[in-house]
Structures are given as C-alpha cells and as structure tokens.
Chains A and B, each alone.
Chain A
C-alpha cells in the first residue's frame, strides 16, 4: 500500500482578462500615471493639434490605435527580438501602424485626413508610443500590453481633448466648431494667445500643476 498521498495538482490560476490588475493598466494612465501630465511625454503634439477639438479627437483615436497594436505586436515578438536592434524593430512596427492609419483616413475619411495633414505621420515620433514599448510591452504578455497601450492612448487623448476644449473655446469661441458664445448671444472677443503654441504650453502647464497637486505627485530626487 502506498503511503504517499497524491499531491493535489495546483493549477496555476489563470488571471481573468479584466482582473483588477488588468483594469488598472487601462485606468492608471488616465489619472495617476498619465503619460502627459505625470510622465510629461507627448507634449509636442499636445501643443500642435489642440487648436480645435475635431483634429484632436481623431488624433486621439489614431494614437490609441497605434499604441494599442504596436504594444500588442511588440509583446508578441518580445522573446524573439535581438536586444541590439530592438529600437529599430519597434520603430518599424510603429511606422507600419501609423502608415496604415494614414492610408485608411485618406481612403475613408478624406476630409478629416486633410485636416490632420502631417500630424498623423508625426505619431511615429510621439514619445508615448516608443516609451510604452520600451517600458511595458518588451517585458509583459500580449493582453496586458494591449490594455496598457489603450490606456495610455486614452490618457494622452484625455489631456489632448481638455487642452483642445479650452483652446477652441477661448481661442475661437466654439466647441467642435459650434459657436458657443454666439449661440448664447454673449459678446466674446477670441483670445489670440490661445491660438498659438504658447497658449497651449500654458494650459498644459496648468493641467500638470492641477493633476500633481491633486495626486500629491512628487518628482523623485
């Protein structure tokens, strides 16, 4: 008679797709770990495409698509990528997705593609995309990487839309092209400074201040 008792086979519990950890990946970049206000990445386009809300909105969708899918693909490839050429491989993947976004816009959303002009191509140089690939996708599994990509794209978009809202409202007196002050028959002289990048820099600065004061974030020494 065998005295050995069978060890209960402990199956490693599969983490559910929307476990708390995975949900945090999605929501963290919206607030506590926002790529723009906390990590101060992607500032250049936050200044460039935020004069009006519509281009900012399309830019948000484009960037979220690119961060999500480049994160996913780099994560799938992460164990095969030679470390010496990893940045080049990441860049090739990012560039491919950006060109896809650009081509699709030109084929199906021609008017919007005209409005966004160069800025879609400039997603390639957006620090958030490469930053997430290096910091997250190279070391994590595909699903969490996808979540992280979407989260960071939306986190960036949230700031982009906030800046665009304030700039369009005070710079052109409209929201998504709808003349707010005219509709409310309030006389309003558009503030020219909101139209120039300096206006955006001030708004982004204020948003960073508000965010950090609220979260008690401190730069580490």
Chain B
C-alpha cells in the first residue's frame, strides 16, 4: 500500500468515503421517501380530524382516509378571503407559505360536514404556522359553525422540549384549554392569549387560557402564531359570518 499519509492517498480516500456514504444515503432516502411522504400526508389528515373527534390507537390509516374523504372538503383562499379555484389544498405547504409576506400567502380551509347531515358544514378548520422556542410550530384550529367559537386546537412542533414546550402537542390538559374560547369580541377579532404562569383560572375570560410552567417562550410563539394567522384569516371569517 502506498504511503497512507500521502496527499494523493488522502484525496482518493476522502473522495471514496464521500461517494460511498453519499450513494448509500441516496439509495436509502429514495427507497423510504414514498413511505415517509405517505406518513406526512396521513398525519395532516389525522391532525385535521383530531380537531373534531378523538382519534385513538384503534384508528388505522384506512379509517382516517375514509373518514377524511367522506367528511372533509378542503380549498385554498388568499388573504382577501377569496376562494382560489384550481388550487389543490393538499399541495399547500403551510410552512413554506409562512416564509412569504402575509398578504401573498395561500391559506388552506377545511370544511367538515356534519355527520348526520353531510350537506351541512359543522366545523371550519384553519391552519397556522409559526416559531416556537427551538423550531417551527404549527396548528389546526377548528371553529364551530358560528366561526367565532374555538372547538379545538391541535398543535404540532418540530423541536420543543419534551415535557415542557412539547406539552402543546402531548398534554391534553394544555391544548384542551382552548376549547370553547372565542376569537371575536363583538365584531372585533380578538385572538386567544396563552398567559404566563400555570395554575390560574381563566374560565371567565373568553380570550385567555392558562399558561405552561417552564415553557413561556413556546407560549409566546403560540400567541404570535395565533395572532398572525387569525388576522390573516379575518377577511375570510367575516365574509362567512355575514
């Protein structure tokens, strides 16, 4: 073997290692990509449905797909609240849209039909995206048919601290605090604010929820996200209310 520390050998070795690692990862990633994309898509549908029904472990992929198919109708709107025909709601990446200026973004809306009367819309689900303490956070908010009362909020996050900020997603106690709160004060849009500190009673305040101890920064991110997106959906919400 030639000298292991010669420049030629080192160069050749580096190239070879890079090439082998690169090709291995390329193959693995291409093989697994369809399964990963299917998971992401299924997770989106599951999160949307979770804003109106409890989805437990008995729900398999098939049941989620068929329920979504039969009850949910999605479409895309712009900032003015106008429905954009010809845009596929499934292709709208809420995180990518978040990088655009507020008025240029596409906003998905999902109408969920009543189980007993499929021609009647029972809930409206809107999607939000923002920044938590460490990375992106997002949510689906379902509004009752008055479009003023929050039915439920389902959060998601990339990297919030487990047990602290991640409670927005994992701890039912935290996200269920939003249920029944109101986003309008008369005609004025008033987002629901997650307060600092935990263990306080906000049951008489329709625009505030109890905070998360040890995760104030995540709560700030949640509040900013809610504020930004509810304002962005305001035109749409008002056009539907009237």
Known contacts A106-B39, A118-B135; is A96 also within 8 Å of B159 by CB? no
Q: How many residues of A contact B (CB 8 A)?
A: 33
Q: Assess the B158–A115 pair: CB atoms within 8 A.
A: no
Decide if A85 touches B14 in the complex (CB within 8 Å). Answer: yes
Q: Which of A80, A85, A88 has the most CB of B within 10 A?
A: A85
CA gap between A195 and B166 in the complex, in Å: 12
Q: Once bound together, how far apart are the Cα atoms of A113 and B21, in whole Å?
A: 22
* A-side contacts of B134, CB under 8 Å: 118
Structural contact, A82 and B13, CB atoms closer than 8 A? yes
Chain A interface, DSSP helix/strand/loop, else mixed: helix
Contact call B162/A55, Cβ cutoff below 8 A: yes
Q: Quick check: A106 and B36 within 8 Å, CB to CB? A: yes
Residues of B contacting A93 with CB < 8 Å? Answer: 17, 21
In which size bucket is the chain B interface?
20 to 34
| Chain B residues positioned under 8 Å from A55 (CB to CB) | 162
Interface string of A25-57 (1 = CB under 8 A from B): 000000000000000000000000101100100
Asked if A51 and B14 make an inter-chain contact with CB atoms under 8 angstroms apart, the answer reads no
Selected interface stretch from A97-105, A124-132, A143-151: A97-105
- The 8 A CB mask of A106-135 against B (1 = contact, 0 = none) is 111010001101100000000000000000
**A195 B5 Cβ-Cβ under 8 A:** no
- B13–A103 contact, CB under 8 A? no
B4 touches A96 (CB 8 A): no
Residues in A whose Cβ lies below 8 Å from that of B13: 80-82, 85, 89
Pick the contact of B5: A83, A96, A99, A106 (CB < 8 A). Answer: A83
Distance in angstroms between the alpha carbons of A114 and B157 in the assembled complex: 8
A196's nearest neighbour on chain B, judged by CB, is B214
Is there a chain A Cβ closer than 8 Å to B24's Cβ? yes
Say yes or no for A14: interface residue by CB 8 A criterion.
no
Closest 4 interchain pairs by CB? A51-B163, A110-B39, A107-B32, A107-B35
A residues near B (Cβ < 8 Å) are: 49, 51-52, 55, 80-85, 88-89, 92-93, 95-96, 99-100, 103-104, 106-108, 110, 114-115, 117-118, 171-172, 192, 195-196
